[in-house]
Amino acid sequence: MARVTLTQQHRNTVAIVGDGQTERIYFSDVRDTDRPANLSIFPDYPRKIGHYKGVLDRALALQETYDRVYALVDLDKVIQDGQQACYARDKAAAEAAGVIVLENNPCFETWLLLHFMHTGRSFTSCKEVCTQLRAKCRIPNYEKSERFLRNARLYGAYKELLATQAIPNARKLEKSRAVQGPLYPRAETFRFFQWYLEMGK
């Protein structure tokens, strides 16, 4: 009798490194809501929170362990501290090593805001984005506390707006980027979700 060989489907492993708990909790919700059969998502963040270098260093440390490694960088602190030149150099080195760097300007909340509206407004701080996010018919009670983020399950709650609003709105912001100033909003998080949705097909 012939032996039957069972081939196990390869599960792509993806590490997503953000600079704080917002990103980690959001991507944990992606994993827990969708439970993708062919993908294992590992949200992570460096213990040194709030600096792009910690994110890139952590992403580089994970590079050998995962099929894909994403580094989510909030640009507000980079710009406030005048670190653009150093950041550009470190980003290029991380990308050369295979890390996929995704920029959010000023912060990750820009991605959340784009689920509800398109905006080309220049935000000087994450606080300004959060104020917009708290408007009626968006997320009125939004706050960055761990308790709120865990209970809100933001990915699952607004998943239906991903393909129709968030991704198209974020993509629009890339069209005229070259002629915009440093405070022009950005949410490159959409690049992860473009790939993620393709993987699910």
Can you give the CATH number for the domain in which 101 is found?
3.40.50
Pick from 158, 19, 199: nearest CA to 101: 19
CB 72 within 8 A of CB 19: yes
Pick from 169, 117, 162, 122: nearest CA to 138: 117
Pick from 120, 76, 23, 129: nearest CA to 139: 129
For 22, list phi and psi in degrees, rounded to 5: -60, -50
Which two structure tokens, joined as six digits, stand for 188?
């490159």
Asked, for residue 1, whether it belongs to a domain, the answer is no
Asked, for residue 2, whether it belongs to a domain, the answer is no
Q: Are strands 186-187 and 100-105 parallel, antiparallel or unpaired?
A: antiparallel
- Phi/psi-derived region of residue 153, left when phi > 0, alpha when psi is between -120 and 50, beta in every other case: left
CB 147 within 8 A of CB 199: no
What's residue 5's pLDDT? Answer: 44
Asked, for residue 93, whether it belongs to a domain, the answer is yes
What's residue 179's pLDDT? Answer: 87
Asked, for residue 118, whether it belongs to a domain, the answer is yes
Asked, for residue 186, whether it belongs to a domain, the answer is yes
Q: Are strands 12-17 and 68-74 parallel, antiparallel or unpaired?
A: parallel
State the pTM of this model. Answer: 0.91
Asked, for residue 41, whether it belongs to a domain, the answer is yes
Which two structure tokens, joined as six digits, stand for 42?
């590992």
What's residue 4's pLDDT? Answer: 44
Which two structure tokens, joined as six digits, stand for 29?
């919700």
Range of the domain at 98: 12-199
CB-based contacts of 3, cutoff 8 Å, min separation 6: none
- What CA dihedral angle connects 119, 43, 196 and 79, to 10 degrees? 30
CB 9 within 8 A of CB 38: yes
pLDDT tens digits for the chain (201 residues)?
455 444 455 688 999 999 889 999 999 999 999 998 888 999 887 766 668 999 999 999 999 999 999 999 999 999 999 999 999 999 999 999 999 999 999 999 999 999 999 999 999 999 999 999 999 999 999 999 999 999 999 999 999 999 999 999 999 999 988 888 899 999 999 999 999 999 875
CA 9 to chain centre: 27
Asked, for residue 3, whether it belongs to a domain, the answer is no
CB 100 within 8 A of CB 70: yes
Domains: count for the chain = 1
Asked, for residue 87, whether it belongs to a domain, the answer is yes
